[in-house]
Structure 1
């Protein structure tokens, strides 16, 4: 994956990374070996800090993958809080279930198997914190559903909004042209959303950060 940081900057940041536990390292290694995209460590640490500060009672994650960010978010939640996470890949659901059970956080986590575009309209309770990290061509529709489910004053985080640096580049490889166009279009919508105080942060692969007005 192309990194938005220069190599020297990336190496410098990594020199200050805290030691992770065995399960997190195992998941990172598995994701790398099987080319499964997960959040970069400094991006998930930023989200963890937001969770610790905002103390949400109900969190929604759209795009579970193997459960890496799910588990790390759950660890930051109060015992009475919960995270609902949606994943449409049966293989990923199986992997995520395994890791969630190993994490000891299963009581806080509700793993939902299905397409978020079908699941979200069926949800009636609102959330304090939403993390969107799904198929890029679906971002606009998923964002619209998310805004309906986000409480006033709630936080929404969207991953990959700098998309390996291609959103700001005039030299985009052919295989990334369509996805880059989707992200560029989404970023305009995200920033101009009237009921959202939003910004784009150069953290990880770019995080969209918004607070609902």
Structure 2
């Protein structure tokens, strides 16, 4: 598919991300569920909603969702090494579906998509495609909930940052802004550099 993750600049394709997991070079990994997402998950009452976590990484959020009784958790990542680890880790749990694939080529219908370090890992040229794909994957009234960096990084990414104004312009056509605020409960090392967002598909 044109403009898919595999067609992004060469060093951000499948081999790049797979090599990071093989080398355990995962500096973005918090080692725990992200505190803002944990708080968001805690207030969801319907445990039957269909959830997707794209660019899922080590999936602490997925593990927490399962612990809290959610029964339709879906993960997708482009790195075969990671996906194999996750399939081994969750092999006895029937409430989780783990997909090796490119987010931009994925088909499905979801009530909620959790955003945790996926948007910032994509080359910025793919951001419009990201918004379009998110809207296509969500049911009517479906939501994106998660974190966006509200800072510009001095060193070329990933991660890639951005500004509040940039994100508003990017999402406004397809989504309503239910929550779009400076994050008050970020993981300590990211304090002061994140927005927490809940975006509702129009």
TM-score with structure 2 length normalisation? 0.65
Q: Does 2:115 match 1:115?
A: no
Unmatched 5+ stretches in structure 1: 1-31
Runs of 4+ in 1 over 3 A off after TM superposition: 38-41, 181-187
Q: Does 2:83 match 1:93?
A: yes
> Which of 32, 52, 59 lines up with 2:51 in the alignment?
59
Q: Is the CA contact (8 Å cut-off) linking 1:87 and 1:93 kept in structure 2?
A: yes
Find the aligned partners of 1:55 and 1:177 in 2 and give their Cα distance: 33
Compute the displacement of 1:63 (Å).
1.4
Equivalent in the alignment of 1:68? 60
What is the 5 A alignment of 1:37-186? 37-38=29-30, 41-50=34-43, 52-78=44-70, 81-101=71-91, 106-119=93-106, 122-123=107-108, 126-133=109-116, 134=118, 135-137=121-123, 138-159=126-147, 161=148, 163=149, 165-167=150-152, 172-176=153-157, 179-181=160-162, 185-186=166-167
Counterparts in 2 of 1:197 and 1:183: CA distance versus 1, 3 Å: closer
More helix by share: 1
Compute the displacement of 1:206 (Å).
2.7
TM-score with structure 1 length normalisation? 0.63
Aligned length: 164
Looking at CA atoms only, which structure, 1 or 2, has the larger radius of gyration? 1
Unmatched 5+ stretches in structure 2: 1-23, 187-193
Q: Is the CA contact (8 Å cut-off) linking 2:151 and 2:163 kept in structure 1?
A: no
Counterparts in 2 of 1:94 and 1:184: CA distance versus 1, 3 Å: farther
Counterparts in 2 of 1:129 and 1:95: CA distance versus 1, 3 Å: same
Counterparts in 2 of 1:152 and 1:42: CA distance versus 1, 3 Å: same
C-alpha RMSD over aligned residues: 3.1
Counterparts in 2 of 1:139 and 1:56: CA distance versus 1, 3 Å: farther
